[in-house]
Amino acid sequence: MQDLAAQIAFILEIDKLKAVYRKTMVKADDNRNENSAEHSWHIALLAQTMATYAEHPINILRVTKMLLIHDIVEIDAGDLFAFADEEAHQAQEKKELEAAQRIFGLLPKALEKEMLNLWLEFEKADSVDAQFAKGMDRILPIFQNMSNNGGSWKVHNVCKAQVLKRNGYLRSSAPKLWEYVKQQVDVAVKKGWLLDG
């Protein structure tokens, strides 16, 4: 039962991700901020829905696991706005690694190792699976903001180049989705939802 106690401790710990809020808004719920737990659910299902656009063969189970766990570190490190500056992103990286070690460290050894390695693979984006997963994480706010009068982009004065840079993983991992993103950001600029530049 020692393993079970550790597994339950982990499951209760990650409940806290439901209290970490992001900049993206939930249109259907009075535009309240989205939390990272429900976001993780959404991108896991996005991956099932868009898997056929993967340019290279992906292991959808590994992709799904990465997407389910990738934000857990925010329990300690908080959510950093995607378009924060470089210095803030570097400080965040250090906090997130420590968080991953603490939180996955609650698990029995074999599970800890598996989840920590998947988390690191996603962070480094150094595999086909991780690159596709990153693409899913980053394209979802485009769908959300385009259907919500610009959503978090408009509120935070985001520009087109920032969105394109952030979605660059799609260029090689899902070229058809990359073409779609390029069209959509132009539409968003015309509508005044993204700054041009």
Residues binding a copy of itself (CB under 8 A): 1, 4, 7-8, 10-12, 14-19, 26-29, 34-35, 37-38, 40-42, 44-46, 48-50, 53, 60-61, 64-65, 68-69, 107, 111, 115, 140, 143-144, 147, 176-177, 180
Please say which residue, 28 or 90, places its beta carbon nearer to a copy of itself.
Answer: 28
End-to-end CA separation in angstroms for the chain = 57
Q: Least separation, in Å, of the C-beta of 28 and a copy of itself?
A: 4
- C-alpha–C-alpha distance, residues 78 and 36, integer Å: 10
DSSP secondary structure string, 143-196? HHHHTTTTHHHHHTT-BHHHHHHHTTHHHHH-HHHHHHHHHHHHHHHHHTSSB-
Q: Least separation, in Å, of the C-beta of 37 and a copy of itself?
A: 4
Please say which residue, 149 or 157, places its beta carbon nearer to a copy of itself.
Answer: 149
3-class DSSP assignment, residue 71: coil
Please say which residue, 18 or 113, places its beta carbon nearer to a copy of itself.
Answer: 18
- C-alpha–C-alpha distance, residues 21 and 86, integer Å: 21
Q: Least separation, in Å, of the C-beta of 86 and a copy of itself?
A: 30
Q: Least separation, in Å, of the C-beta of 132 and a copy of itself?
A: 15
Helix extents (H) in the chain: 2-14, 36-50, 60-69, 74-77, 86-104, 109-124, 128-146, 151-155, 160-166, 169-173, 175-191
Q: Least separation, in Å, of the C-beta of 82 and a copy of itself?
A: 18
Please say which residue, 101 or 195, places its beta carbon nearer to a copy of itself.
Answer: 101
Please say which residue, 18 or 56, places its beta carbon nearer to a copy of itself.
Answer: 18
